[in-house]
Structure 1
Amino acid sequence: MNVSSGYREAWEDFWAATSDAPGEAIWDADPSLAAQPHSELLLPYADASLPVVDLGCGNGTQTRFLATRFARAIGVDLSHAAVALARRADTEGVAEFARLDLVDGEAVRALHERTGDANVYMRAVIHQSEPEARPAVAAAVAELVGEKGRAFVAELTPAAKDVIRRAAESPQGPPPKLRRVLDHRLKPASATEEEVPELLRAAGLTVLVCGDTALAQTEYLPDGTRIALPARWFVLAGRGGA
Structure 2
Amino acid sequence: MAVSDRYKEAWESYWRETPEEPGAAVWDCDASLSVKPHLALFEPFVDGSKPVVDLGCGSGTTTRFLAERFARVVGVDISHAAVEHARRADASGTAEFRQLNAAEPGEVGALHGELGDADVYLRAVIHQSEPAARPAIAEAVAALAGRGGRAFVVEPLAVAKSVIADTARGAGGPPPKIARVFAHGLTPAETEDEAVPELLRATGLSVLASGRIDLVMTEYRADGSRIDLPAQWLVVGR
For 2:231, the aligned partner's letter is A
Post-superposition CA distance 1:92-150 (Å, at most 9, x none): 10000000001100110000001110000000000110010000000000000011111
User: Equivalents in 2 of 1:104, 1:214: separation in Å?
Assistant: 30
Alpha-carbon shift at residue 2 of structure 1 (Å): 2.2
For 2:185, the aligned partner's letter is R
What does 1:127-166 align with in structure 2 at a 5 Å threshold? Answer: 127-166=127-166
Residue 193 (structure 1) aligned with residue 193 (structure 2): yes
For 1:51, the aligned partner's letter is P
Which 5+ residue runs of structure 2 have no aligned equivalent? Answer: none
For 2:38, the aligned partner's letter is H
1:3 aligns with 3
Post-superposition CA distance 1:25-57 (Å, at most 9, x none): 000010011111111111110121211100000
1:52 aligns with 52
Alpha-carbon shift at residue 11 of structure 1 (Å): 0.3
1:173 aligns with 173
User: Equivalents in 2 of 1:9, 1:58: separation in Å?
Assistant: 14
Secondary structure, aligned partner of 1:227: coil
Secondary structure, aligned partner of 1:74: strand
Alpha-carbon shift at residue 71 of structure 1 (Å): 1.4
For 1:127, the aligned partner's letter is H
Which 5+ residue runs of structure 1 have no aligned equivalent? Answer: none
User: Equivalents in 1 of 2:210, 2:135: separation in Å?
Assistant: 20
For 1:231, the aligned partner's letter is A
What does 1:112-123 align with in structure 2 at a 5 Å threshold? Answer: 112-123=112-123
Secondary structure, aligned partner of 1:7: helix
Alpha-carbon shift at residue 214 of structure 1 (Å): 1.1
For 2:118, the aligned partner's letter is A
Following TM superposition, the consecutive aligned residue runs of length 4 or more in structure 1 with deviations greater than 4 angstroms are none
Q: Percent identity?
A: 58
User: Equivalents in 2 of 1:88, 1:217: separation in Å?
Assistant: 22
Give the alignment's TM-score, normalised by structure 2.
Answer: 0.98
Contact 1:2 1:101 in 2 (8 A): no
Alpha-carbon shift at residue 193 of structure 1 (Å): 1.3
2:28 aligns with 28
Residue 97 (structure 1) aligned with residue 89 (structure 2): no
Alpha-carbon shift at residue 81 of structure 1 (Å): 0.1
Post-superposition CA distance 1:50-69 (Å, at most 9, x none): 11100000000000000112
For 1:162, the aligned partner's letter is S
1:207 aligns with 207
1:39 aligns with 39
1:220 aligns with 220
User: Equivalents in 2 of 1:144, 1:47: separation in Å?
Assistant: 16
Alpha-carbon shift at residue 12 of structure 1 (Å): 0.4
User: Equivalents in 1 of 2:47, 2:149: separation in Å?
Assistant: 7
User: Equivalents in 1 of 2:158, 2:197: separation in Å?
Assistant: 14
Give the alignment's TM-score, normalised by structure 1.
Answer: 0.97
Secondary structure, aligned partner of 2:75: strand
Contact 1:47 1:149 in 2 (8 A): no
